[in-house]
Amino acid sequence: MRVRLSYSVKLEEVPEHVSQLIDEEWDSIGFCDHTIKEIIDLLNSEDPSIDSSLKKIDKIRQTLGSIDLRFAECESILEGYRQAQSGPTEPTEAPIEEQPYSQKYNTPYEVPKESTK
């Protein structure tokens, strides 16, 4: 299960923290590189181990998915950083003015009329 962590840093420290997050993925990338070479060797051997290759491929795909998720998070953080650096943006559209409701409201029930007795 994945959970979202939240913490604050100074605005000017954001690129450094994102760099650290990306740097942490090097081990995973190295794992994928090494495992891909193992799969190639397994499949090129005299008696290719298909089951082992399938397990390794699955592990690589899971690891690459995790790396992709981390890069998506880094991208989102850097987009927020860029927006914070450029300052607040003004709305591109004029605010919508409220118009008085001009339609007759139909109640789902009949309102009792006052008696004239």
Per-residue pLDDT of the chain (117 residues; tens, 9 = 90+): 878 888 899 999 999 999 999 999 999 999 999 999 999 999 999 999 999 999 999 999 999 999 999 999 999 999 999 999 987 766 667 667 776 666 666 666 665 667 665
Are the C-beta atoms of 25 and 70 separated by less than 8 Å?
Answer: yes
C-alpha triplet 7, 9, 12: angle, nearest 5°: 150
Give the per-residue pLDDT at 55: 97
> How many helices (DSSP H) and strands (DSSP E) are in the chain?
3, 0
Compute the distance between CA of residue 44 and CA of residue 54 in angstroms, rounded to an integer.
14
Q: Is residue 40 classed as helix, strand or coil in its secondary structure?
A: helix
Which tokens belong to 38? 């193992």
pTM above 0.75, yes or no: no
Give the per-residue pLDDT at 105: 61
